[in-house]
Structure 1
């Protein structure tokens, strides 16, 4: 395989490109807007599913591999681009208590360093936390990545590679079909022939398969976030309760997220979400009640039925590959998903079992 076109310039598309370039493949990456400006920019960047014990083995396998790989990915990008993605292992406190037994059993079975901790530990670790928490779960090695910096670094790395072509602002991309196989992409009046096309367009992926008369069950799921600013180190660890979280950045910014809304492709920030997220911020970190948020924004997750991404070749259209449908865990799962995609595309031994991610075995695409 010598020439690949990737549709989608989020973290999945960019890391897919980087892995293929590392293997000597020439890559054209097409993005409808700007590289890294959709869900990959909008997310929180916790390098873990929010409640990892709730997820199936296929998601856990991708998450485990990615968690181990993120530090070296960040180091490589920082060296190559002078942009540090800031993978910060600040730890995470789960303040929900209802699932402690399930969570600890899950952790013991997987060798995860998850601990049950008491109030003394909680307030020693996060002194600015609201009063009243008596127990929590704690994992010290969990990190967050500053995803806007990650995407900026990936863009610089790809743009500097002589075997990569970046095409941004290409909203008219269409698949080229020749003799029953996908042979490339037409965009901006140009036919780009390729040995394979990778569809990594997140919430927009289904639009391309609809052209082929197929329905991909990946839909946009809106998430809204707030940003606050404090002194660096004011919030020392990530905290999570009731599905809402606070994430500290190295410069003192704090992310509060997030909503889960089915509003189609509408990304408009709303007053209702602002009020809800401000209430969550105050419940977790009372000092934030006296502050105005620095910013509010929204992004669209690629929601799939079970949260397991589609990674593999589309059986009825040779040459067309999917890497999409990561739902709430695109940033979490990206390193493994993209390494795995490159493995199966290039005929290498894959890092994990391909079966759960394939477009087969009960995960078929439906006739449109």
Structure 2
């Protein structure tokens, strides 16, 4: 039986552990805090890159594979755990239309339906919109889910099937010559035949001891949550880089900032105020809606947002699956499957070359 240690309990680590467990491997997962409480918890849950036609092809490949799997995955998790990730096809309304020709061409090439909403205008399908725009793009098949619920469901599905070690920080990778042997934590050595680093923004720190870490840096994002009513906003709505996400219960998420602040995760009053004004400009109805929460998370930023998935060169048994930047949720299932394909030497679902450590980005 394959003995694999997964470092990191965000959505990427959880999905990787799940794929390994389903393949018959003996899995240990180590998380320095609580599973699903960092970038995964803080994210919006849109199951698409924000402007998908602008995304590099390696991101599109992972996203499209994952989008096809999510309806089945979330249904399986609901049935086995009783926790509903609230997979919801609410569609994506893009109010920036300067990429019209590029977007339509991308949609044809990738089989993604894109409608031009022009006559009648966008307000017909989204009446509470503030900007009176003559035209918008509508991607009716785009879905969303609630990331904390997804993380909880996967954790519940795994907790009796793997060795789950939370609140335990990895201090050092144990390398013997050209072979990984496990890790060291404050509780001692944890040995394994294979080690997969899925530590998000902290991945480069863990791999620094090897001298050539992947280019992954924390990028802070702040988000607002409005306690709105069901039916006020219907679509995920994207405008000028900001987005509003209406949940089933009516709550509306609005975000998100992009800040290079290192590992400082705190929120700021200035960004809260800026996000609030942008939110009520996009949807004036939110002016009469209380703000329920304001939080920040640290995304694992990487060049062009292309994740690192593969073997660490020169160290047998050491792998990484990290650096998904803003698209960890939408790329997660495919990233996990590809990672496990490579570990188990199976036919990979996608060409792994673009995700290698030394691949051009």
> Into which bin does the TM-score normalised by the smaller protein fall?
over 0.9
State how 1:162-173 maps to structure 2 within 5 Å. Answer: 164-173=162-171
State how 1:200-349 maps to structure 2 within 5 Å. Answer: 200-349=198-347
Conserved? CA contact 2:228–2:290, under 8 Å: no
Q: 1:121, CA displacement in angstroms?
A: 4.9
State how 1:71-150 maps to structure 2 within 5 Å. Answer: 71-118=71-118, 120-150=120-150
Q: 1:362, CA displacement in angstroms?
A: 4.1
1:67 corresponds to: 67
1:366 corresponds to: none
Q: 1:187, CA displacement in angstroms?
A: 1.9
Q: 1:360, CA displacement in angstroms?
A: 2.8
How far apart, in 2, do the equivalents of 1:69 and 1:172 lie? 32
How far apart, in 1, do the equivalents of 2:126 and 2:304 lie? 34
Query: Which runs of no fewer than 5 residues in structure 1 stay unpaired?
Result: 364-368
Q: 1:174, CA displacement in angstroms?
A: 2.0
Conserved? CA contact 2:96–2:240, under 8 Å: yes
Conserved? CA contact 2:58–2:354, under 8 Å: yes
How far apart, in 1, do the equivalents of 2:236 and 2:360 lie? 37
Tell me the secondary structure at the aligned position of residue 98 of structure 1. coil
After TM superposition, the structure 1 stretch with the greater mean CA deviation from structure 2, 28-37 or 99-108, is: 99-108
Question: Per-residue displacement from partner, 1:201-257 (whole Å, max 9, x unpaired)?
Answer: 000001111122223210000000000012222211111000000001111111001
How far apart, in 2, do the equivalents of 1:291 and 1:74 lie? 30
How far apart, in 2, do the equivalents of 1:131 and 1:51 lie? 19
Conserved? CA contact 1:119–1:133, under 8 Å: no
Conserved? CA contact 2:18–2:158, under 8 Å: yes
After TM superposition, the structure 1 stretch with the greater mean CA deviation from structure 2, 132-141 or 354-363, is: 354-363
How far apart, in 2, do the equivalents of 1:118 and 1:6 lie? 49
How far apart, in 1, do the equivalents of 2:24 and 2:188 lie? 24
RMSD value, Cα: 1.3
Q: 1:119, CA displacement in angstroms?
A: 5.7
How far apart, in 2, do the equivalents of 1:260 and 1:3 lie? 38
How far apart, in 1, do the equivalents of 2:268 and 2:116 lie? 37
| CA 361–245 in structure 1, closer or farther in 2 if over 3 Å, else same | closer
How far apart, in 2, do the equivalents of 1:257 and 1:5 lie? 34
| CA 362–143 in structure 1, closer or farther in 2 if over 3 Å, else same | closer
Question: Per-residue displacement from partner, 1:15-58 (whole Å, max 9, x unpaired)?
Answer: 00000000000111000110000000000010000001111111
How far apart, in 2, do the equivalents of 1:310 and 1:118 lie? 40
1:151 corresponds to: 151
Tell me the secondary structure at the aligned position of residue 234 of structure 2. coil
How far apart, in 1, do the equivalents of 2:237 and 2:16 lie? 31
State TM-score, norm by structure 2. 0.97
Tell me the secondary structure at the aligned position of residue 234 of structure 1. coil
Question: Per-residue displacement from partner, 1:106-144 (whole Å, max 9, x unpaired)?
Answer: 112222101111162522221111141211000111100
How far apart, in 2, do the equivalents of 1:123 and 1:348 lie? 49
1:55 aligns with 2:85: no
How far apart, in 1, do the equivalents of 2:213 and 2:191 lie? 25
1:353 corresponds to: 351
Conserved? CA contact 2:301–2:323, under 8 Å: yes
Question: Per-residue displacement from partner, 1:154-201 (whole Å, max 9, x unpaired)?
Answer: 11111132xx01111112442111232111112232322211000000
How far apart, in 2, do the equivalents of 1:274 and 1:189 lie? 40
Tell me the secondary structure at the aligned position of residue 327 of structure 1. coil
